[in-house]
A and B are shown apart, each in its own frame.
Chain A
C-alpha cells in the first residue's frame, strides 16, 4: 500500500505526503502550489473558472485520455497517477504563449479576465483531444464555462481560430511525457491514505483490483466515490465531513463498456463522456440528452452509474434507462444480484443497496426493430442545467402502427425517477397516430403529483410532462407538425448559422 500521492503537475512530478483527503484539487493548487490562475467562481462545478486539463488512463479505451475538468469538485487523491496542466503551465516561455492563449488575446476574448483561465483550459482540452472546434461544437465545448462580461462572441472567434489550425501545425509535445508518466504510474501500488489530523480521521482507499473493493466495503463502511460530481458538492456546499472514501476510479475491472448485438453493459467507473460516444450512435435521443447533460467537464468526471446510484429524482439517466428497461448488477463480496433498474429506487433518498454492496454495472438492451425511443429534457436554461422535467418514451410498434408495449418514465415528477405505469398500460393496443389524448392526460395525472420548487411550478410540470409525451408521439409517428427541440431551432435559423460563421 502506498500513502504518497504521485502526480504530474505542469510537467513536473509531485510526491504529496498524505493529506486531508477531502482537499479539492483547486484548493491544493491555489493554497499549496500558489497557482492562483485557477479561479473559484462557484465551487460546485457550474462556472468552469477552475477548469484544468488532466490526463488519466482509461482502461475501457486502453489509453490515456485528456479532459477538461472542474478542479473545484475533485478531491486531490483522485488525481493520483494523473497528469494535470493548469493555465500557468501552458505558455512555452514568458514571451512565447500557447496558440490557445494567443487566440484569446487576438480576439479580445477577455474583459475582466476572471473566467478566462477556465475558458483557455477548456479550449486547451479540445486541443489535447485533437478536436477542431467549429459550429455548434463550440457551444458544447464551452457549455460549462460562464462568462458574465463578453457575451461569448469573441470567445467563439478564438475557438474558431484554433479550429482552423491544421493538424500538422499542432504541437502536442507536452502530452508525450505526460502520457509516459501516467502509464508508468499504472504499476504503482494502490493508494491508501490514513491520516489523523486535529482529532479527525481521513481515509482514502483507491483499490486497483475489484477483489479489494468488497472487503473494504464490508469491513469499514466507507463512502463509495466515483467522479465526485455529486459528492464534491456535499463537501464544498454542505460542508459535510467525510471520514473515509472508497474510490472506484482506479479499479480496472469496473472500467469497461461492452457492446454486443443485444445490449450495452456499462461498468461502474465509465464516464458520461465515454458512454455518450458509444451509446449515442445507437440511441439518437440519448445523444442529445447527454449533450445537454452538465458540461464537458461534468461528463468527463461524472459516471453513468453514479448518476443512477445517487437515486436523485432529477437525474437524467435514470428515467431514460427505466424506459429502456435497463438492469443493474449489484456486487457483494463474491456474490452478485441483478435487478431491474426501477426497483432500485425505493423512495426519496432510499435505494436498494445494502451495506457492503456496490453497483458493478448497468445493462442497457438495444432497440429492437419495432422499437422507437425518445427522450426530452426541460430546463430553465438550455445547456448545463438540471431538468425541471425529463421524459423518456419507449414504444414497441406493430407494423400497422399500433402500440404493442410502452415504457414511459419521468424525472422531476416524483420523489424518485419513476415509470408512468398508468399511461404506459393505457397505451397498449392503441394506434400511435390516433391516441385518446384526454385519457392519456388523465392517466398521467394519476401517475404523478409533482411539486413546485425553484425549477418549475407543479402546473408547469404537469402540462409539460404531457406535452413531452405528445411531442414524442408526434415525432415517432412522423406527423408534419412534429419536431425536435434542438434540431428545429437550427432549421429555423439555418441561414443564420452560416451567415454568422461568415461574420466570425
Chain B
C-alpha cells in the first residue's frame, strides 16, 4: 500500500484521474429536473427538407419538447467567424449528419425510443463528397491562398532536373475520448450558465449570447477540463453549447447534451484531407531551386477555420528548408461533408508532409540518401557564420534556427547511417520482409496567425492564510497547462505548487480570452499569470521592506519563507496575513500580449511567428510484403522544448503527439460513402493506434540548447503541436522499405494502411 504523494511535476489532476473523481461535463451532479437532449441528424448530404413531422415524437412517453430552427430566438449560427454553420438545418441540408432537430426528454432512453417516430421527407440533389467531385464542379469557398517568393515559373527552367508528382493526404478524426458535451443551467433574469467541454469559452459565450439574443454579461461559461480536444473542441463545441442554451431557455430547466461516439463522428469536422501536387526543380546535388506546391483541401460544407488552416499549411510547406523560388497555393474546396476544422498542427502537418515527399522523391531520383538532400537544403543555423538572415517565403527571418545541429546530433545518437546501410543489406536478401528507416525534421511556427488572438489574462488572489487562488483564460485538455501555470505562480511566490489552487476557466473571472490552441497556452497564460503574481509579490515586498526597513528587492520569497538579509523572518502565510492587516491589495490581474509579431495580410508578409520549434525523429519500420502489414520497430526523437517548465509533461506531449501522428499517417482512414454517409463512425471501423502500435523501442530526448532566444516564460518553448509531425519519419521509412520492392519511386499515399502499402509495391 502506498501513501499519497506530492511532487511538483505531477499533473494537478492526476489523483482525481486515477480515482475516478475528476469531473467532466457529463459527470457534473445535476438536479433530477435536468433534461437530456438527443439530436436528429440528416440522412442525406444535399437537398431540401420537404416535410418534417415531429408531432409523433412529442407524443411519446418522457418527451418534453422537440426543437428546431424555429425555436431559436436569435441567430441560427454556430460558426466561429463566417456565419455559415447553421445550428439546425432550415429548409436546406448540406451534409449527411447535419443536425435538424433536438429532442428534449426526461431521460436519454426515452429520447432514443421516441426518435424512431420522426418523419422527414427530403428532396435530394447529388452531393459533392470527394475532392475530385469538388474540383470538377469548382466549388471554391474563397479565392486561393498563396505564399510565394522569387519567380517560380522562370527559375524552374534553370534547374538541372524537374520532378512532378502528387500525394494524397488523408483526413483524421480527433477521437478525443470524451465526446462533445454541454450543460446549460438557466439562472434568474435570463442569465444562463454553460458548462462545456470547449477550448474556447469566450467564443461559446459569444455564440450563446447571439443565439439567445442576450448581452455577453448574461452568459457565463465554465470549463474545468476536457477529456481530450486536439483542436476538435475549438469551434466544434459551439453547436452543442448553443443547443443546450436554447433548450434550457425554452424549458426553464437545466439541459444536457452529450454526443455519443457515432453522432460525434458524424457531426463534427475533422483534419482536412489534401491532395498536394508538386513541381520541383533542383540541381545534381539535390539543392532545390524552385518549388511549386498546390494543396487542394477538402473543407466540408462551410468555412469554419479553413482559411487560417490553409495559411498555416502554406507557411509550413517549406518545413525546414530554404528554397529561393517558391509558389505555394491552397485551394479551399467546399463539399457536402462535415466542416473540417482545427486539429493539432492546424494545416502544418499536411504542408510539411508534401514538402518531405518532394525531398524523398528527389533523393530517389538522384539515388542518394534523403537525409543528404535534407541537409543540403536546410536553413542555416543561427550560429553559422554564413547565416545571412535567411527568410521564410513569407518574409520572416529565421533567427533561431538549430535544425542542422539538432539533426546531426540525432543522426549520431540514433546510429542512422550504419542502420540504414544494414537495412539495405537486409532488404537485398530478405524476400518477404522489408525494412525501412527515415529521419525527418520539423520546424513549426509558434503564435496564432491572427494577431488579436495572441493575448491572455489571468487573475491571482492571495488569501490571508497564504493560500493562493489562480484563474486564467487557458483551458485544460490534458496537455498539463494548469500544472505548468500553477508552478509558474508558485515559484513566483517561492511556495509549493499544491498551495496554489487552480480553478476552472470561467468567463466571469477572466474575460475576452483566446482559444487554447496553436500550442500557445503556456506562453500566453503562463506569462499573464506570472505578471499577476509578480504584481502582488511586488506589493508584498514593498510593504515588508517598509516593515523591516530594507529595499523591497532585498525581500526574498523562497521555500515558503520570507528571507531578509539571509534571515528567515516569517512564513509566506504569515506574510500574507501581515500584508492583509497592513491593508495591502492581495489580488491582481495580469495581461500579456505576444510582442514583436505582425502580419500584412495584403502582401502575405511579416513576422507571424514569435519563434520556431525544432525537432527531428528517426523511425524504423518493417513491412510484410505478402500482406502489407507493418510494425514500427524503433523510434528516436530529439526535440527542442527550450528550458522546460515541466519535463514530464513535455515528454508526454512529445510521445502522445508522435503516436497521434503515426495514427494519422498509418491506420486512421475516414471513409465516406457516395451519399456522404461516414462509414467509419465509431472505433469499430475507425482505428486509432492501440497499445501495441506504440513503438517497440523508443528514445525521446530533449535538445540541449540555450533555451528560447525570445523572452518566453522561463525561456521555454511551446510543445503541443510540433511533435505530431515527427511521425512523418514513419511514413518515409515505409517509403524506404517499398523502394526495395520496385524500380520506380513508390508514390505512397497517406494513410499507409496495410492495403495501401501492399498495393504501392507494384
Do A and B pair up? The answer is: yes
A interface list, Cβ under 8 A from B: 20, 34-44, 46-47, 49, 86-88, 90-92, 95-99, 101-102, 104-106, 108, 110-117, 120, 136, 138-139, 142-143, 145-156, 171, 198-199, 237, 239, 241, 378, 380-386, 453-457, 459-460, 463-464, 467-468, 470-471, 481, 483, 485, 488-489, 492-493, 496-497, 499-500, 503
A146: chain B residues at CB < 8 Å are 175, 177, 683, 688, 690
Do A110 and B691 touch across chains, with their CB atoms under 8 A apart?
no
The answer to whether B2 and A497 have CB atoms under 8 Å apart is no
List residues of chain B with CB within 8 A of the CB of A36.
20, 23, 26-27
Are A153 and B690 also in contact (CB < 8 A) when A110-B17, A114-B177, A454-B679 are?
no
> CB < 8 Å: which of B29, B261, B479, B754 contacts A43?
B261
Q: Which residues of B contact A (CB under 8 A)?
A: 1-5, 9-11, 13-24, 26-27, 29, 61-62, 109, 112-113, 116, 174-179, 225-230, 260-262, 431-433, 435, 477-480, 622, 624, 626-629, 631, 633-634, 648-649, 651-652, 655-660, 667, 669, 671, 679-680, 682-685, 687-694, 696-699, 753-755, 758-759
B633 contacts A493, C-beta separation under 8 Å: yes
- Which residues of the partner chain B approach A34 to less than 8 Å between Cβ atoms? 29
Which chain B residues border A47 with CB–CB below 8 Å?
A: 177, 683
CB distance from A385 to the nearest CB of B (A): 6
Distance of B61 from chain A, by nearest CB (Å) = 5
Quote the shortest CB–CB distance from B225 to chain A (angstroms).
7
B-chain residues with CB within 8 Å of residue A150 when the two chains form the complex: 652, 655-656, 659
B contact residues around A145 at 8 Å (CB): 691
Question: Contacting A381 at CB < 8 Å: which of B1, B655, B693?
Answer: B693
Q: Please determine whether B18 and A382 come into contact, CB atoms closer than 8 angstroms.
A: no
Q: By the criterion CB–CB under 8 Å, are A148 and B20 in contact?
A: no
Q: Point out the residues of chain A lying under 8 angstroms from B626, CB to CB.
A: 464, 467-468, 470-471
Is B177 a contact partner of A35 (Cβ separation < 8 A)? no
Contact with B698, one of A88, A104, A464, A500 (Cβ below 8 angstroms) = A500
Known A149-B656, A237-B262, A382-B631; contact A101-B227, beta-carbon cutoff 8 A? no
In whole Å, how far is B107's beta carbon from the nearest beta carbon of chain A?
A: 8
B3 contacts A95, C-beta separation under 8 Å:
yes
8 contacts between A and B (CB under 8 A): A36-B26, A114-B178, A115-B227, A151-B657, A151-B694, A239-B116, A460-B758, A492-B622
In the complex, A136→B754 CA distance in Å?
22
Q: Contact at A113–B627, with CB atoms within 8 Å?
A: no
Given contacts A108-B651, A493-B697, 16 further A-B contacts (CB under 8 A): A36-B23, A43-B261, A46-B683, A86-B20, A111-B480, A112-B226, A112-B229, A113-B13, A114-B227, A148-B228, A150-B655, A150-B656, A151-B656, A464-B758, A467-B626, A496-B633
Interface contact B655-A151, CB-CB below 8 Å: yes
Do the beta carbons of A154 and B690 come within 8 Å of each other?
no
In the complex, are the beta carbons of A171 and B227 less than 8 A apart? Answer: no
Contact status A117-B479, CB under 8 Å:
no
Q: Is the pair A378, B262 in contact by a Cβ cutoff of 8 Å?
A: no
B14 CB contacts on chain A under 8 angstroms: 104-105, 108, 110, 113
Question: From A457, which residue of chain B is reached at the shortest CB distance?
Answer: B755
Once the chains bind, are B687 and A385 in contact (CB under 8 Å)?
yes
A378 lies within 8 A of B697 (CB): no
Within the complex, which residue of B2, B17, B685 is in contact with A113, where a contact is CB–CB below 8 Å?
Answer: B17
Residues A111 and B627 in contact, CB atoms below 8 Å apart:
no
CB distance from B118 to the nearest CB of A (A): 13
- Cβ contacts under 8 Å, B688 to chain A: 146, 148
| Residue ID in chain B nearest A496 by CB atoms | B697
| Smallest CB separation, A136 vs chain B (Å) | 8
Instruction: Tell whether, in the assembled complex, residue B690 and residue A383 are in contact, meaning their CB atoms are under 8 Å apart.
Output: yes
Roughly how many angstroms separate A395 CA and B114 CA in the complex, as a whole number?
55
With A153-B655, A382-B629, A460-B759 as contacts: A97 and B15 at CB distance below 8 Å: yes
Secondary structure call for the A interface: loop
Expressed in whole angstroms, the Cα–Cα distance for A454 and B113 within the complex equals: 28
Closest-by-CB residue of B relative to A38 is: B20
On whether A88 and B19 interact (CB within 8 A), knowing A43-B260, A489-B633, the answer reads: yes
| Alpha-carbon gap, A239 to B115, bound state (A) | 10
Known contacts A114-B228, A378-B627, A381-B690; A454/B685 CB under 8 A: yes
CB-defined contacts of B17 to chain A, threshold 8 Å: 104, 110, 113, 116-117
Q: A40, A153, A455: which has the most chain B beta carbons within 10 Å?
A: A153
Give bound CA distance, A460 to B756, whole Å: 9
CB closest chain-B residue, reference A110: B17
Residue of B nearest to A503 (CB): B699
Q: For the complex, give the distance between the alpha carbons of A493 and B433 in Å.
A: 12
Q: What is the distance, in angstroms, from B586's C-beta to the closest C-beta of chain A?
A: 30
Tell me whether B227 and A112 are in contact (CB under 8 A). yes
By beta carbon, the residue of chain A nearest B624 is A485
Q: Which residues of B contact A464 (CB under 8 A)?
A: 626-628, 758
A91 touches B758 (CB 8 A): no
Known A-B contacts A102-B5, A384-B690, A496-B633; the reply to A147 vs B177 at CB < 8 A is: yes
> Closest CB of chain A to B514's CB: distance in Å?
20
Determine if B261 and A42 form an interchain contact, defined as CB atoms under 8 angstroms apart: yes
Evaluate whether A382 and B20 lie within 8 angstroms (CB atoms) in the complex, with A108-B10, A150-B652, A492-B435 already known: no
In the complex, residue of chain B having the shortest beta-carbon distance to the beta carbon of A470: B626
Q: Which residues of the partner chain B approach A460 to less than 8 Å between Cβ atoms?
A: 628, 755, 758-759
* Docked pose: A37 CA to B260 CA in angstroms: 17
Contacts of B477 in A (CB 8 A): 112
Is A37 in contact with B634, judged by CB distance below 8 angstroms? no
Task: Check if B687 sits within 8 Å of A454, measured CB to CB.
Answer: no
How far in angstroms is the closest Cβ of chain A from B35? Answer: 14
Q: How far is the CB of B193 from chain A (nearest CB, A)?
A: 20
Select one of B631, B652, B667, B683 contacting A44, CB under 8 A: B683
Counting from the closest, the 9 A-B pairs by CB-CB distance are: A37-B20, A112-B478, A114-B227, A113-B17, A496-B697, A87-B20, A151-B659, A151-B655, A111-B478
Complex Cα spacing A239 to B110, Å: 11
Assuming the contacts A101-B19, A111-B479, A152-B694, asked whether A239 and B759 have C-beta atoms less than 8 A apart, the reply is no
Q: Point out the residue from B22, B229, B667 that lies within 8 Å of A380, measured CB to CB.
A: B667
A492 close to B478 (CB less than 8 A): no
CB distance from A47 to the nearest CB of B (A): 6
Q: Is the CB of B685 within 8 A of A117?
A: no
How far apart are B498's CB and chain A's nearest CB, in angstroms?
13
Known: A41-B178, A143-B691, A381-B693. A481 touches B431 (CB 8 A): yes
When the two chains form the complex, which single residue of A39, A92, A463, A471 contacts B1, counting CB atoms closer than 8 Å? Answer: A92
Residues of the B chain whose Cβ atoms lie less than 8 Å from the Cβ of A138? 691
With A111-B478, A237-B262, A378-B629: A149-B228 Cβ-Cβ less than 8 Å: yes
Distance in angstroms between the alpha carbons of A453 and B679 in the assembled complex:
9
> CB distance B693 to A467 under 8 Å?
no
Contact A496 B696 (CB under 8 A): yes
Could you tell me if A96 and B682 are in contact, using CB atoms closer than 8 angstroms? no
How close is A217's CB to chain B, nearest CB, in angstroms? 27
Report how far A26 CA is from B655 CA in the complex, Å.
31
| A454/B680 contact (C-beta < 8 A), A91-B19, A489-B622 known | yes
| Contact assessment for A154 and B652 in the assembled complex, using a CB-CB cutoff below 8 Å | yes
Is A108's CB under 8 angstroms from B649's CB? yes
CA distance A153 to B20 in the complex (A): 21
**Known: A108-B11, A111-B656, A457-B755. Is A37-B19 also a contact (CB below 8 A)?**
yes
Are A46 and B682 touching (Cβ within 8 A)? yes
The distance from the CB of A457 to the nearest CB of chain B, in whole angstroms, is 6
Is the pair B478, A113 in contact by a Cβ cutoff of 8 Å?
A: yes
B682, A237: Cβ atoms under 8 Å?
A: yes
Residues in A with CB closer than 8 Å to B27 are: 36
Cα–Cα, bound, A485→B649 (Å): 35
Contacting residues, chain A, for B10 (C-beta < 8 A) = 105-106, 108
Let me know if B697 and A97 touch, CB within 8 A. Answer: no
List the A side residues contacting B634 at CB < 8 Å: 493, 496
**A42 near B669: Cβ-Cβ < 8 Å:** no
Interchain CA distance A386-B626 in the complex, whole Å: 19
A120 to B15 alpha-carbon distance, docked (Å): 12
Q: Are A95 and B4 in contact (CB under 8 A)?
A: yes
User: How far is B15's CA from A199's CA once the two chains are assembled, in angstroms?
Assistant: 45
Give the residue among A39, A138, A453 with the most B Cβ atoms within 10 A: A39
